[in-house]
């Protein structure tokens, strides 16, 4: 059996070459696995096949005892699951001892999700008679329509959106490309923005970016966050929301409407479906409320 350090190097190389993960994501995975291998070292384990399910559980418990929050422990476990899945696929081990361990339930907490009515209200706030207001309206509409990350939204190029075919091409984490459909509302709003507001905002400048600010430059994450916060206040939304709340709302509303988990996973650009499964927790809570409200024995 190769050394644990060798196996870790093989896995990280696999993530880099095969999965195309970004440097930042690789560092996060590497940090999680390094913490685990340090734990194995303290236990005197030098052969990875000697680390069974109970050892992994003891490691997760030790992280809890050290003060790591449930959400971080859940992410840590996802990393270890991926590591062991790779080892099993490559025949370094005969079975995956991490597969049967459930994620910490309190690690499934989500930021506030907007209701459909709250989303509609938020979308009605930007003043579309102004070029900047029409741009903001199109950005919020697309953010919700396609479940984009903020970084994906502000970095969209003009040619990334196919208005006629109603889809947007996105480059997510690790430069992974995905294609996400958009609805008629987003299509019409983007089309109107591109034809009328964008040329006014550009003035004499040129830009490849779809959504532009001063001198043709894209908006910053912080700048767009301030816009969302201001519009949410005007819409009398009391929940603490961020641009990411619209991504969460996108996924939750799709699942509530009957979409299957795999389809939502693809549209969100999640590599691991366990990341997408956190939204089923929200949907279950929604169904419990519906049952309690409408069932005669609720």
Residue 171: both structure tokens together = 């480059």
Report, as residue numbers or ranges, the catalytic residues: 149, 173, 244, 247, 270, 279
Tell me phi and psi for residue 102, to 5 degrees.
Answer: -80, 155
Please tell me whether residue 271 adopts helix, strand or coil conformation. Answer: coil
What's the number of CA atoms in the CB half-sphere (13 Å) around residue 134? 19
Q: Would you say 74 and 104 are in contact if contact means Cβ atoms under 8 Å apart?
A: yes
Beta bridge partners of 212: 218
DSSP conformation letters of 164-224: TTTEEEEE-GGG-EEEEE--HHHHHHHHHIIIIIHHHHHTT---SBSSB-GGGPBPPHHHH
Report the alpha-carbon distance of residue 150 to residue 153 in Å, rounded. 5
Nearest to 242 by CA among 106, 60, 112, 154: 112
């Amino acid at each position: 059996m190769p050394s644990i350090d060798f196996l870790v190097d093989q896995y990280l190389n696999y993530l880099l070459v095969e999965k195309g993960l970004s440097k930042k994501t690789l560092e996060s995975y590497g940090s999680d696995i390094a913490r685990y291998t340090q734990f194995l070292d303290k236990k005197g384990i030098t052969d990875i096949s000697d680390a069974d399910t109970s050892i992994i559980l003891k490691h997760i418990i030790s992280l809890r005892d050290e003060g790591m929050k449930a959400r971080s422990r859940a992410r840590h476990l996802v990393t270890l699951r991926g590591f062991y899945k790779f080892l099993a696929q490559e025949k370094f081990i005969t079975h995956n001892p991490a597969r049967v361990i459930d994620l910490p339930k309190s690690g499934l907490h989500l930021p506030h999700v907007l209701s459909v009515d709250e989303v509609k209200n938020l979308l009605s706030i930007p003043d579309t008679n102004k070029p900047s207001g029409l741009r903001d309206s199109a950005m919020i509409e697309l953010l919700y329509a396609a479940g984009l990350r903020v970084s994906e939204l502000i970095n969209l190029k003009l040619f990334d959106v196919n208005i006629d075919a109603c889809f947007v091409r996105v480059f997510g984490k690790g430069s992974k490309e995905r294609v996400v459909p958009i609805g008629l509302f987003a299509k019409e709003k983007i089309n109107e923005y591109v034809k009328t507001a964008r040329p006014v905002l550009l003035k004499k400048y040129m830009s490849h970016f779809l959504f532009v600010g001063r001198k043709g430059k894209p908006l910053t994450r912080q700048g767009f966050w301030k816009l969302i916060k201001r519009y949410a206040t005007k819409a009398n939304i009391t929940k603490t929301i961020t641009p990411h709340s619209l991504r969460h709302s996108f996924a939750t509303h799709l699942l509530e409407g009957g979409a299957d988990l795999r389809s939502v996973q693809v549209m969100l650009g999640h590599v691991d479906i366990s990341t997408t499964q956190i939204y089923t927790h929200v949907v279950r809570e929604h169904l419990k409320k519906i049952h309690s409200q409408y069932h005669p024995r609720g």
